Chains A and B, each alone.
Chain A
Amino acid sequence: MSTSDKPAFHIPSDPWISLRAHTDARIALGRVGAGLPTNASLDFKLAHAHARDAIYSTLDNAALTTALETLGLSVLSLQSQVQTRQEYLQRPDLGRRLNAASRKKIETLLPGTADVSIVFADGLSAEAVNLHAVHVLAQLLPALAAAGLSTAPVVLADQARVAIADDIGSLLKAELSLIFIGERPGLTSPHSLGAYLTYHPKPGLTDESRNCISNIRPEGLVYADAAQKIFYLVAESLRRKLSGVMLKGEGGLLAGEK
């Protein structure tokens, strides 16, 4: 505790601090010797802590199942071939395939065909899925229904990479797979959701076969806009019977998209 005869150690702020209005970059932090002032140092640590916690967060299967069932969807919980988070981070190949028990689970369902298979996957931030995925889907479903498109049971996939949707979509005999997955957390965006769609999903496809909508979060691409973009991509993909680089033009935009 500081007393009046011992004044607090004062650090002058950088005179260009007003330039922070132009960027989210960590400018004008001030310095103590060559070091960061205590507050700036702890601010950074907190942002990193949020990102690290996001990496190790897990899908809230109970809450997600309840929410999805409320939307009139049936839900299936499945796992990739990954056993631990440490393995997940080092073996992307194992995160792309369902484990044997999960395959069996789908096969015993004897699925019919569906237009769209929907997957919620933890990816690198399960918390992003917990927070945002149901909200986006709730806005997307009416558009899908109005277009007469059927959906397969929603899969909650643990320890999963984007390409697990190929495995799931093909087993569910879906025309198109749509996966919502937690993106790699940034210091300013630990809970950002990505959505990827693939026409005629099957194991072995690579990134050029997919289309991606990223940065879905209230401070980024908001739910309604994300749902609208996804629906547009889904409709175009099914109409033109393709996805990926062929669906998007050179500038990464669909015809008519600005």
Chain B
Amino acid sequence: MAYQHTIRHHVYNFQDLKTVLAKASPFRSGDALAELAAHTYEERVAAQMTLANISLNVFLREAIIPYERDEVTRLIIDSHDASAFSVIQHFTVGEFRNWLLSDTTNAAMLHAVSPGITPEMAAAVSKLMRNQDLIAVAQKCEVVTQFRNTLGLKGRFSTRLQPNHPTDDPRGIAASMLDGLLYGSGDAVIGINPATDSPSAVTKLLHMMDALRQQFDIPTQSCVLCHVTLALEVMQRQAPVDLVFQSIGGTEKTNQSFGISLSLLHEAYEAALSLQRGTVGNNVMYFETGQGSSLSAQAHEGVDQQTCEARAYAVARKFKPLLVNSVVGFIGPEYLYDGKQITRAALEDHFCAKLLGLPMGVDVCYTNHAEADQDDMDNLVTLLGVAGCNFIMGVPGADDIMLNYQSTSFHDALYVRQVLGLRPAPEFEAWLMQQGLMDAYGKMLPPQASHRLLKEMKV
């Protein structure tokens, strides 16, 4: 269906819904590269005004990627909850924004409506929102998940301890893990990106982290971020897999480029569940996403990168993950050029995922060829702390020496907790206090050389 909007006698025509969505998107380099972006400032606002008047019902009738051709579209349509949708079905996108922001719409209502919201509806409304709107609505949502601890509670702010090493050297990894734990990091997960994607290398790292966790009775979970097929393989060989990781995208073709399908994810989900390793809950999946991955795989199907990203959240929510995060600034400047674009994208990703009911974290990050620096990351991590982001990364000194990019440091997480009065996951917080690493007021204590972790941990 075609859409149009007139501004001062200029008639803007948009040939279909996906064109309106793309042209309404705040500017970013990836949409320009894909030749999908609005050509003028006025055209962008014309598209936003058009979008504001489109009824949410239209999103159920007009698939932006055909149902027959794409299993993500089929998942979105087939799993749509019509009764949850009934509360908002008479809204236009513009009215939906007003409803989301209004004082009377609270966390419980957002939670109830969530299964009735499709990724395209979330993406659409985000395109009409300013950064403060994205923060304000996300901040109302609470998405709680559990495995060996409880993540996402209001007032809590967690970290993935990311102790990567360019050659997977066990002592190098252990040194970074110890550094992180002593700085209070690792309640979301201790997660390693392996340099070598082989069954034996992955199994070795899994055993190493599991032994550490058991030795010190740390209420957290571990993960080696290998491909899902490899996780399946090592699970069959009884390796201690807490969480199954996978990068996912918002189109069937993107997922093909990652070597996955919904059925493969389902197989891995069932396998991880059957291990029953969780103690307080059984959310067993960990997904990473990021704007631009579909275009990068030439699999965007003419859909803008933010809408593609939101569609990935439909894939994620099918498998009740413990953790999801966008690796927002990793993709590079041809998709997100500078600190402004990275910031906007991160707030969109966090908002859309929370609205769709996901336990969203963000890898607040950039590469050296992006027009960004530590100041941009400081701004973004503060905004995400205010928005109620579930977790960020913890990398020694913000410098990942294996993936060669800059993420957030253990210090950054302490800063956010300090300035916003946020605390780690309750079980992990109790452990930090037991270890004498945190006082009763939540202040980190400097460990002595005689500290148990320093004396007993094998490095």
Using a CB–CB cutoff of 8 Å, the interface residues on chain A facing chain B are 12, 14-16, 19-20, 22-29, 31, 33-36, 40, 44-45, 47-48, 51-52, 54-55, 89-93, 124, 184-189
Assess the A25–B172 pair: CB atoms within 8 A: yes
Shortest Cβ distance from A28 into B: residue: B179
Q: How far is the CB of B415 from chain A (nearest CB, A)?
A: 4
* Given A15-B447, A48-B374, CB of A89 within 8 Å of CB of B369: yes
Assess the A44–B334 pair: CB atoms within 8 A: no
* B32 at interface by CB-CB < 8 Å: yes
| Number of A-B contacts defined by CB within 8 Å | 127
Assess the B397–A90 pair: CB atoms within 8 A: no
Assess the B401–A25 pair: CB atoms within 8 A: yes
Q: How far is the CB of A12 from chain B (nearest CB, A)?
A: 6
What residues on B are CB-neighbors of A48 within 8 Å? 368, 373-374, 406
Assess the B179–A19 pair: CB atoms within 8 A: yes
Assess the A92–B334 pair: CB atoms within 8 A: yes
Whole-angstrom CA separation of A179 from B261 in the bound complex: 36
What residues on B are CB-neighbors of A12 within 8 Å? 446
Assess the B367–A93 pair: CB atoms within 8 A: no
Assess the A91–B182 pair: CB atoms within 8 A: no
Whole-angstrom CA separation of A47 from B398 in the bound complex: 12
Q: How far is the CB of A37 from chain B (nearest CB, A)?
A: 10
Shortest Cβ distance from A30 into B: residue: B446
Q: How far is the CB of B65 from chain A (nearest CB, A)?
A: 23
Assess the B396–A19 pair: CB atoms within 8 A: no
Supply 10 A–B pairs (Cβ within 8 Å), ascending by A: A14-B182, A29-B411, A31-B414, A33-B418, A34-B414, A35-B411, A36-B409, A90-B29, A90-B32, A184-B368
Additional 20 contacts, C-beta under 8 A, given A16-B454, A51-B368:
A14-B182, A14-B447, A15-B454, A19-B175, A22-B172, A22-B175, A25-B176, A25-B401, A26-B396, A26-B399, A31-B183, A34-B411, A34-B414, A44-B399, A89-B371, A90-B333, A185-B368, A186-B368, A187-B401, A188-B399
Q: How far is the CB of B198 from chain A (nearest CB, A)?
A: 8
Q: How far is the CB of B310 from chain A (nearest CB, A)?
A: 23
Q: Is the interface of B mostly helix, strand, loop or mixed?
A: mixed
Assess the A184–B369 pair: CB atoms within 8 A: yes
Assess the A187–B406 pair: CB atoms within 8 A: yes
Whole-angstrom CA separation of A13 from B166 in the bound complex: 26
Whole-angstrom CA separation of A40 from B169 in the bound complex: 24
Q: How far is the CB of B107 from chain A (nearest CB, A)?
A: 29
Assess the A27–B176 pair: CB atoms within 8 A: yes
Whole-angstrom CA separation of A143 from B431 in the bound complex: 62
Assess the A35–B368 pair: CB atoms within 8 A: no
Which of B29, B368, B404, B411 is in CB contact (< 8 Å) with A52?
B368
Q: How far is the CB of A181 from chain B (nearest CB, A)?
A: 13
Q: How far is the CB of A243 from chain B (nearest CB, A)?
A: 21
Shortest Cβ distance from A188 into B: residue: B401
Q: How far is the CB of A13 from chain B (nearest CB, A)?
A: 10
Shortest Cβ distance from B400 into A: residue: A25
Shortest Cβ distance from B335 into A: residue: A90
Assess the A184–B367 pair: CB atoms within 8 A: yes
169-197 of chain B: CB within 8 A of chain A? 169, 171-176, 178-179, 182-183
What residues on B are CB-neighbors of A89 within 8 Å? 333-334, 337, 369, 371
* Given A90-B333, A184-B367, CB of A27 within 8 Å of CB of B175: yes
User: Which 8 pairs between the two chains have the least Cβ-Cβ distance?
Assistant: A26-B397, A23-B172, A15-B449, A34-B414, A51-B368, A34-B415, A27-B179, A19-B175
Shortest Cβ distance from B454 into A: residue: A16
What residues on B are CB-neighbors of A185 within 8 Å? 368-369
Assess the B404–A184 pair: CB atoms within 8 A: yes
Shortest Cβ distance from B165 into A: residue: A23
What residues on A are CB-neighbors of B415 within 8 Å? 34-35
Assess the B397–A93 pair: CB atoms within 8 A: no
319-340 of chain B: CB within 8 A of chain A? 333-334, 337
What residues on A are CB-neighbors of B451 within 8 Å? 15
Q: Could you say which of B411, B415, B447, B454 has the most chain A C-beta atoms within 10 Å of its C-beta?
A: B411
Q: How far is the CB of B358 from chain A (nearest CB, A)?
A: 28
Whole-angstrom CA separation of A128 from B454 in the bound complex: 40
Whole-angstrom CA separation of A29 from B412 in the bound complex: 13
* Given A22-B169, A90-B29, A187-B368, CB of A27 within 8 Å of CB of B334: no
